[in-house]
Amino acid sequence: KNEPLKIKKRGEDGNRIISVRIREDILQSLDKIASESNYSRNELINVILEYGIKNIEIE
């Protein structure tokens, strides 16, 4: 018996699509790092955000 193909609806993978404004120089730096590290821009932004959230100190 064939098992059904199960897929999740878009947006139900725990991720949300948002829009942000980023300075051009930061975007260029992100793209350079993404290219050198073989990460997508999206993956790199998530890595940086996760690190920042875990390591931020509010004074």
The pLDDT mean for the chain works out to 91
For 27, phi then psi, to 5°, come to -60, -40
Task: Output the pLDDT for position 44.
Answer: 95
- 7-12 contacts: CB < 8 A, separation 24 or more? none
- Is the pLDDT at 9 greater than 80? The verdict is no
Confidence (pTM): 0.72
Helices 24-37, 41-55: inter-axial angle, 10-degree rounding: 110
**Tokens linked to 34:** 């993404």
Task: Output the pLDDT for position 15.
Answer: 83
Task: Output the pLDDT for position 11.
Answer: 64
Domain locations in the chain as residue ranges: 24-55
Q: Per-residue confidence at 39, pLDDT binned at 50, 70, 90?
A: very high
18: left (phi over 0), alpha (psi -120 to 50) or beta: beta
